[in-house]
Structure 1
Amino acid sequence: MELDECVHTLTESFEPFAPEARPGDRLLDRHADRLHFDERNPTQDRRPYLAELIVKARANPSTVLAATDDSVPQFNQYQAASAAIIYKGHRELERTCYVSGRVTAPDVELNAISYAVCLAVKQANCQHIMVFTDSMGSAHRAVDPSMHSGQAFSLSVCRALQEWFEADDLHRITFIYVPSALRWDIHGEAHKYVTELKVRVGCRKTANSIDMLRSRATHSVLDSWSSTSKDPTYCGSEFLELQWPDRWPIQPLYLNGGPWISTLGHSITEFAHICQCITGHMPIRAYYCRFKINEPHGCTCGAALQSCQHILFCCRDRYSVHYPCFLRDIALFLKHNPMAFGFNWDPSGVG
């Protein structure tokens, strides 16, 4: 098998009909009161809160502490790595660190949480497990047995906790958010431990999660899109090139709806209006001229041609002058000029 084929081969398997995923039998259905998530509070200074929390936890002989972290190298020559360290009080019980292949950060953190939980439930005289992680999204996924990237790790967590909960009604687990930038206490130790492991990607087949393959496909399409969007023959001569406030041209993105939807998508009608303006597909007189429609081509202000550029930057007859260069400028322009780039309605009712 060629190296390129290894990179793009899915290696994880899924259980679409796992018993743990049946409604009513899921861990969160049966034991929701024993699963707790100590989420991030933006108004809270996390360091003193965590310091007080761990002092109390270490003083309890029936509490097991687990710190998890991951390392996802920026460059593809190294594999991602996971680490989990188990403590009781100030005493370290176990630690493990291993490579996870080519996976996303949530995948590898989920992997680490899975190992931490499976190690913690095996500890003697343990009634409360506290898992310190910098990825609460992965913590929630850890107890979600449905089909998703890393489902096998979630199923192992659900099975381990299900058996552990059934053994004693007092057993419970808490996932605690730790900002990675703090390099705090046992979580900082897990971070140091995982970043020391560096394993190069070789010619042998490595793990590839479905989220990683989706990410690679997305970035490939995005790179192609970004490249073609710079070609005027692709965008068309009428495409309105806009800028960010720092004067960099707006490039296509897919995160959070991309720059256009995230900025302007609050109203379908307004967004459609703005799209017509940006792409040059608006029913103005330059459009009539281009397609040889028997309508006037000149602007009402006397200009020979009513083009998009003329309306936005030159016309002082019917439109307020804004000279828009940014997305929000376009939105503001159309708010002040709701009839700009619109159809001229015939009095008889025929547009």
Structure 2
Amino acid sequence: MAGQPESTGWGVVGYHKGREVFTVRGCMGHKAEVYDAELTGLEKATTLATEYAKRHRQVKHIHVHADNTAAVTSAYELKPAPGQLQMFNITHTVDKFLEENDERTISIEWCPGHEDIKGNERADAEAKAGTELRAQDHTTLTNAKRGVKERALEKWREEWQKTPPAGGFAIANRLPPRWKPREHVTHTPREVFSRLTQCRTKHAFLGEYYARFVPDEHTGCTCGGGLQTREHILQACTNYDEHRHILREADEQMELGILLGTKKGLEATAKFLAKSGAFTKTGKRREQKTTPEEEDNENDEEEERWWRRMEGDREADFGLVEEDDEEGRREETRE
């Protein structure tokens, strides 16, 4: 089963004991997606295969294959979703076929495409031929949703391109928007990703951040290098010389825009943070946890108190603290 840019077609080929026993093809027009064609093909295949089995009573087991994972996994599933009519028909056909005889089985399985599998190649050929058939265009829900997402993403990227970067995140704001989370989000441990985000936004345990928002905190670096800045920690702080080669692998000059705003740079920076402990409150590497649960449940009390106090101070400055909260904080101060 396959689709062409001009139109979307589907094709089905059935085999019994190595012999081709039925073939059918169809066209869904210009406003349908490959997923729609694959699901329609599964619907037709299920119907034709069960009808064939009923005419040939020795056939007890049916195997239906398609090379589209999304269509295969949703075929036998009743839920409100794109392709739900085909899903309903497949489910009804399968249930009825199985209820008539306890010895019958039917499976709907994925198979790899373009791997010279005879049945799959034949079905692809039928689908290609199906695109040449006349069909009345009906916009499928899958097609409509894709169009909406494409237009929204295009608008989003236009706004992103014409908005001048500003703030601490400006130098890291090089990756254009997209719907799926990027690898530095999905492949970075939770605690390290937290520090990576703080580093990219410059809202971190950092002297230059303290200077702006928490003036009673020490703003110098523990290495004696003066004001502790993001650039200093990544590029020059002697506390992290041992691990700085990780950053140089991404960019020899360790340019911040590359380290914080490119795929290669983010991978290197995340690795650097994990190995060095940079941008923690203590500036040292955290003790490694033995299980993901321990990492997720980690509660650094010192950091938690610091952030809570900082946020409370800022809320008080803007008059956002409730009277009860202020009274509680005064009690803590007296204690």
Q: Aligned match of 1:169 in 94, 102, 109? A: 102
Structure 2, unaligned runs of 5 or more = 248-258, 260-264, 284-301, 311-335
Q: Does the aligned pair in 2 maintain the 1:72–1:79 contact within 8 Å?
A: yes
Give the C-alpha shift of residue 130 in structure 1: 2.7
Structure 1, unaligned runs of 5 or more = 1-68, 243-248
Give the C-alpha shift of residue 96 in structure 1: 2.4
Q: Does the aligned pair in 2 maintain the 1:70–1:105 contact within 8 Å?
A: yes
The residue correspondences of 1:249-328 to structure 2 (distance < 5 A) are 250-255=175-180, 257-264=181-188, 266-267=189-190, 269-291=191-213, 293=215, 295=217, 297-317=219-239, 320-322=242-244, 324=247, 325=259, 326-328=265-267
The reply on whether 1:108 has 2:41 as its aligned counterpart is no
Within 1, Cα distance between the matches of 2:77 and 2:67? 18
The residue correspondences of 1:1-351 to structure 2 (distance < 5 A) are 69-71=1-3, 73=5, 78-89=6-17, 90-99=19-28, 101-123=30-52, 124-126=55-57, 127=59, 128-198=61-131, 206-209=138-141, 211-226=142-157, 233-234=164-165, 236-239=167-170, 241=172, 250-255=175-180, 257-264=181-188, 266-267=189-190, 269-291=191-213, 293=215, 295=217, 297-317=219-239, 320-322=242-244, 324=247, 325=259, 326-338=265-277, 340=279, 342=281
Within 1, Cα distance between the matches of 2:146 and 2:13? 29
Give the C-alpha shift of residue 167 in structure 1: 2.8
Give the C-alpha shift of residue 215 in structure 1: 3.4
Q: Does the aligned pair in 2 maintain the 1:104–1:212 contact within 8 Å?
A: yes
Q: Report the residue type matching 2:229 in the other structure.
A: S
Within 2, Cα distance between the matches of 1:180 and 1:195? 14
Within 2, Cα distance between the matches of 1:289 and 1:230? 31
Q: Does the aligned pair in 2 maintain the 1:252–1:259 contact within 8 Å?
A: no
Within 1, Cα distance between the matches of 2:160 and 2:134? 33
Between Structure 1 and Structure 2, the one with more helix by share is 2
Within 1, Cα distance between the matches of 2:78 and 2:214? 60
Greater RCO, CA 8 A, separation 6+: 1
Give the C-alpha shift of residue 83 in structure 1: 1.5
Q: Report the residue type matching 2:62 in the other structure.
A: I
Aligned equivalent of 1:30: none
Evaluate the alpha carbon distance shift between residue 186 and residue 295 of structure 1 in structure 2; reply closer, same or farther with a 3 A threshold: closer
Between Structure 1 and Structure 2, the one with more strand by share is 1
Give the C-alpha shift of residue 150 in structure 1: 0.9
Q: Which is higher, the Rg of structure 1 or of structure 2?
A: 2
With normalisation by structure 1, the TM-score equals: 0.63
Within 1, Cα distance between the matches of 2:113 and 2:104? 28
Secondary structure, in 3 states, of the residue corresponding to 2:97?
helix
Give the C-alpha shift of residue 121 in structure 1: 2.1
Within 1, Cα distance between the matches of 2:160 and 2:224? 34
Number of aligned residues: 267
Evaluate the alpha carbon distance shift between residue 129 and residue 337 of structure 1 in structure 2; reply closer, same or farther with a 3 A threshold: closer
